[in-house]
Amino acid sequence: MSAPTAADVQAAIDAGPFNRWLGVTVTNLTPTAITLEAETRSEWTNSADGTVIHGGIISALLDVAACFSLVGSLGGTAPTIDLSTHFLRAVTPGKIIVIGRLVKPGRAIAVAEAELANEGGKTAALARGTFAASATSPLGAS
């Protein structure tokens, strides 16, 4: 199996309607990590004045990054079994950077984590998840 490229991973992300709607862009890919960037949109906000991004969007971005950090070791993504998210500060409109990292590959279960920061680089949320490695979907599979 050859290592997936950032373009391969971007195509896999964009193949999912929700992930495509999130509008994330792969900016870095290694065998055990991925960096994604997204520009917030007004429909992501949770406050009347539009200055706070909804926690569900934050969790979704963390899940996508953690899930796609698996592609280097598993050759694809795996369904999320559990995701624990820790919100550290409000996420405000602008560029969001999310880094997903493989913690432990496995044949049955894999563990990955993700960190989300505002453009200024301050960590705003963290997540750790377990993924069903035994049900991996290879990149490009429908």
pLDDT for res 48:
84
Residue 82, classed as helix, strand or coil, is strand
pLDDT for res 83:
98
Q: How confident is the model at residue 141 (pLDDT cuts 50, 70, 90)?
A: low
pLDDT at 44 > cutoff 70: yes
pLDDT at 63 > cutoff 90: yes
pTM comes to 0.94
pLDDT at 142 > cutoff 70: no
pLDDT at 91 > cutoff 80: yes
* 6-138: CATH topology: Thiol Ester Dehydrase; Chain A (3.10.129)
Provide the Cα torsion 4, 8, 114, 31; round to 10°. 10
pLDDT at 96 > cutoff 80: yes
Residue partners of 66: CB distance under 8 A and separation at least 6: 80, 83, 100, 101, 112, 113, 114, 127, 128, 129, 131
pLDDT for res 47:
82
